[in-house]
Amino acid sequence: MRSLQITDKQEQALQIVDADMPEMPANSVLVKLKAAALNRRDYWISIGKYPGIRPGVILGSDGCGIVEKANSEQGQAFVGKEVIINPNINWGNDPKVQSADYTILGMPVNGTFAEYIAVPVDRIHEKPSHLSVEEAAALPLAGLTAYRALFTHGQVDADKKVFISGAGGGVAQYAFLFSRAVGATTYISSGQAEKVEKFASIGAAKAYNYKDDGWIKQAAKDSGGIDVVIDSAGGDQLNDFLKVLNPAGKIVFYGATTGLPSKIDLYRMFWSQATLQGSTMGNDQEFEAMIEFVKKHRIKPIVEPSIAFDQAHTAFEMLADNKQFGKVVLKMDE
Ligand SMILES: NC(=O)c1ccc[n+]([C@@H]2O[C@H](COP(=O)([O-])OP(=O)(O)OC[C@H]3O[C@@H](n4cnc5c(N)ncnc54)[C@H](OP(=O)(O)O)[C@@H]3O)[C@@H](O)[C@H]2O)c1
């Protein structure tokens, strides 16, 4: 079967490789993938910037496909159905934090950028019927990360004023869509004018370009203070967020794309009872809750037109140049 693997080739580590069909451990299902979505994680791995990279592993944490085979009664019920895959492996028993054995599909175990994948039956969920296979493939990792950051940590509801930074990002778009769905007043920033305009047109209370001087002052003035910031960029901008945060406000962050802050204003933080809260992925109960939420609110992920699997390199280039608006999805041939 065709698969996209990280190899030890110096020039071009990402290669489409003919791989053996996956073996099926006990209580697993064989999924014929129809679509698979990229995450920034896949890009970090492709450029060697991720811990524990092993050559010969099939990348990809997100996928949607049809169950072709099962080796248990539980799995038989899914045969012929379209499913999405929970990318969590071994979250463990503590809902608050993942176990030491926790990993994510697509490194170190083989992932979804292939024609087939075998996964334990408890990893699959029926595709929400209002989503296309491309939209459904774009949901799992980013939807889960946004759900935990926004609701478990951010406690966002209709009474909150929320700020989503870099809303054009894969996770951030869900944070925006989910926040809007519960009726929170939702402000966003983005680095590209078209994205700023787009978010303003789909329900952002106000949208700012984080490359413009003075945007943070304007945001403070417009909002009168923010209760929850959701961020993945990190860097010195964290101090700007502290300036717009209401007393007892919270910054929830799940990434640090632009690196570490050179300093952090602890004086302001302790005086205003502010919280800086890290967040990673989400547990299996949050995954199920996220799917139910998406169904209830009929959330439609924002996806780029899909890219043929054989053109996967183009998809990685889009992430490298940050050209995408919404999730980048690879489509397998029918
Ligand atoms: N902890 C976890 O569980 C977890 C899960 C998923 C992702 N992550 C991490 O979170 C980050 C985002 O992941 P993703 O998959 O959503 O990536 P992505 O789709 O590539 O999005 C990254 C976004 O970052 C935004 N950005 C870039 N520079 C920025 C800045 N200076 N200020 C504000 N925003 C900025 C951009 O938004 P605009 O396009 O709007 O400018 C860009 O679209 C990555 O670092 C990733 O590794 C962590």
Cβ of residue 209 lying under 6 Å from some atom of ligand 1? no
Mutation choice for ligand 1 from 257, 290, 302, CB with most ligand atoms inside 8 A: 257
| 166 contacts 233 by C-beta, under 8 angstroms | yes
Torsion angles phi and psi, residue 17, rounded to 5: -125, 140
Closest CA to 316 of 324, 136, 8: 324
Closest CA to 1 of 123, 117, 87, 107: 117
Structure tokens that stand for 68 in this block: 């072709």
Closest CA to 301 of 189, 158, 134: 134
Domains located in the chain, CATH noted: 2-139+301-331 (3.90.180.10), 144-278 (3.40.50.720)
Give the chain's largest Cα–Cα span: 60
Closest CA to 153 of 248, 278, 246, 257: 278
- CB neighbour list of residue 66: distance below 8 Å, 6 or more residues apart: 31, 32, 34, 80, 81, 82, 83
Upstream peptide bond of 108 is cis (omega within 30 degrees of 0): yes
| Distance between CA atoms of residues 82 and 285, nearest Å | 21
Residue nearest to atom 36 of ligand 1 (CA): 166
Closest CA to 37 of 6, 3, 64: 64
- Distance between Cα 3 and ligand 1 center (Å): 26
DSSP element (H, E) containing 170: helix 170-181
- Distance between Cα 76 and ligand 1 center (Å): 38
- Distance between Cα 218 and ligand 1 center (Å): 23
Residuewise pLDDT in 10s, the chain (334 residues): 999 999 988 788 899 999 999 999 999 999 999 999 999 999 999 999 999 999 999 999 999 999 999 999 999 999 999 999 999 999 999 999 999 999 999 999 999 999 999 999 999 999 999 999 999 999 999 999 999 999 999 999 999 999 999 999 999 999 999 999 999 999 999 999 999 999 999 999 999 999 999 999 999 999 999 999 999 999 999 999 999 999 999 999 999 999 999 999 999 999 999 999 999 999 999 999 999 999 999 999 999 999 999 999 999 999 998 878 899 999 998 6
Neighbouring C-beta atoms of residue 71, cutoff 10 Å: 16
Cβ of residue 281 lying under 6 Å from some atom of ligand 1? yes
Amino acid 334: pLDDT: 62
| 19 contacts 58 by C-beta, under 8 angstroms | yes
The helix/strand/coil state of 313 is helix
Query: Phi-psi category of 130—alpha, beta or left, where left has phi over 0 and alpha has psi -120 to 50?
Result: alpha
- Distance between Cα 75 and ligand 1 center (Å): 35
The helix/strand/coil state of 79 is coil
Mutation choice for ligand 1 from 232, 279, 317, 321, CB with most ligand atoms inside 8 A: 232
| Distance between CA atoms of residues 128 and 133, nearest Å | 9
| Distance between CA atoms of residues 83 and 60, nearest Å | 16
117 residue type, one letter: I
Q: What is the dihedral of CA 2, 300, 241, 238, to 10 degrees?
A: -10
- Distance between Cα 172 and ligand 1 center (Å): 7
| 58 contacts 106 by C-beta, under 8 angstroms | yes
Cβ of residue 232 lying under 6 Å from some atom of ligand 1? yes
- Distance between Cα 255 and ligand 1 center (Å): 7
Structure tokens that stand for 301 in this block: 């992920």
Outline where DSSP puts E strands in the chain. 2-6, 14-18, 28-37, 57-58, 62-70, 82-85, 88-89, 103-104, 116-120, 124-126, 161-164, 185-190, 207-209, 226-231, 245-253, 275-278, 307-308, 329-331
pTM above 0.85? yes
The full DSSP string for 290-311 is HHHHHHHTT----BPPPEEGGG
